[in-house]
Amino acid sequence: MIRDFVYFKAGTVKETLDLLDKYKDDYKIICGGQSLLILMRQGLVAPANLIDIKKVTELSYIEFDLKTGLKIGAATTHRDIEKSEIIKKHYPILVYMEENIASNQTRNWGTIGGNLCHGDPTGDPGPVFIALNALVKIADKKKERNLLLEDFFVDYFETALQDGELLLEIQIPIIAPLTAVAYEKFNIIQNDQGIVSAAVSITLTKDGDSCKDARIVLGGAASKPLRIKEAEQILMGKKLTDSLLKKAGEKASELADPVSDIHASETYRRYLAEVLTKRMVKKAWEQALTYMKR
């Protein structure tokens, strides 16, 4: 049963920040409620004040610039990202990711900011955005700050947002030449949350002979999206070989920190981390090679 609360419907960012500042000791922000309402019904969350920002149109936008990259407002829906021609052209991995999130109904109403702020380590956007080196813009009533998304996630369902702060925007830089990004999640039911997922970005050298840069991020393999920097270093300056893939996959499995639950055991999650890392490194690498021919 949902406990009583005071409901506020904000119309602007300023109004929202004023409310957050006033009620910062006991509030929750709702911008779709796909996850929050479930927690409230279960009695796991019982805010005294509920601040609805669904109608704050200032936070719903998709902007792209060839120099600065992509900016997505926190209240932008998953469906808007999925159907954006700008994103399809410049960041197609985001379209693929969104097409595999839940149902059309969920994507029509759920927002990208709400997903990230929920802090679920099995969520789809976190690993993909981190592989794309994304930042988030955060603000309270007095100031704004930017934070790398990989530092935004702290623990299970916990983020770096402080009392009175609001997520405003996700920022993704221009993808470097000869770079490809691959993402896959393992799940039992199509479009369900992944048991383990892997997002990989590979940048090749100008001759396409070896790896210039790499980002490997796991979802569902720890208490937050987990970047495996040691596995990235294994790839740097190397050519693609089965032995290299094996080493990167083994390192990802070793450094993962999964738990056992009703969906999978710790051992199985480590196995998935290894398999998906190898698969996504190979996929991104081979995709980047095709850019040499364009």
Q: What is the mean pLDDT of residues 256-267?
A: 96
1 domain residue, yes or no: no
42 and 67 fall within a common domain: no
CA distance 255 to 230: 9
Contact 99, 23 (CB under 8 A): no
Long-range contacts of 91-97 (CB under 8 A, 24+ apart): 91/132, 91/172, 91/175, 93/128, 93/132, 93/181, 93/182, 93/183, 93/199, 94/128, 96/183, 97/124, 97/125, 97/128, 97/183
90 and 157 fall within a common domain: yes
CA distance 211 to 281: 11
135 and 69 fall within a common domain: yes
Q: Which stretches of 125-277 are assigned E, i.e. beta strand?
A: 135-139, 144-148, 153-155, 158-159, 166-172, 179-186, 196-204, 211-219, 226-227
24 domain residue, yes or no: yes
Is a pLDDT exceeding 90 seen at residue 292? no
Is a pLDDT exceeding 90 seen at residue 102? no
Q: Tell me, rounded to whole angstroms, the distance of Cα 77 from its chain centroid.
A: 14
The average confidence (pLDDT) of the chain is 95
233 domain residue, yes or no: yes
Print the domain residue range for 82. 57-172
CA distance 164 to 138: 10
- Which residue, 117, 143, 172, sits at the end of a domain? 172
153 and 184 fall within a common domain: no
pLDDT of residue 104: 85
* CATH number of the domain within which 261 lies: 3.30.390.50
46 and 15 fall within a common domain: yes
CA distance 30 to 7: 10
The two structure tokens encoding residue 92? 């197609």
Question: Could you tell me which of 280, 149, 168, 112 has the C-alpha nearest to residue 224?
Answer: 149
pLDDT of residue 276: 98
pTM for the model: 0.96
48 and 121 fall within a common domain: no
Q: What is the mean pLDDT of residues 63-82?
A: 97
pLDDT digits (tens, 9 = 90+) for 197-251: 999 999 999 999 999 999 999 999 999 999 999 999 999 999 999 999 999 999 9
43 and 85 fall within a common domain: no
The two structure tokens encoding residue 139? 């603000």
Distances (CA, A) of 239 to 103, 203, 206, 245: 39, 12, 13, 10
CA distance 12 to 59: 9
65 and 44 fall within a common domain: no
22 domain residue, yes or no: yes
Q: What is the mean pLDDT of residues 50-79?
A: 97
Q: What is the mean pLDDT of residues 88-94?
A: 98
* CATH number of the domain within which 132 lies: 3.30.465.10
- Which residue, 148, 172, 196, sits at the end of a domain? 172
137 and 204 fall within a common domain: no
270 and 240 fall within a common domain: yes
83 domain residue, yes or no: yes
Residue 41 identity (one-letter amino acid) = R
| Number of domains within the chain | 3
85 domain residue, yes or no: yes
40 and 66 fall within a common domain: no
pLDDT of residue 294: 67
User: For tokens 């929750």, what's the residue?
Assistant: 28
Least confident of 57-61, 145-149, 171-175, 190-194: 190-194
Least confident of 30-39, 128-137, 253-262: 30-39
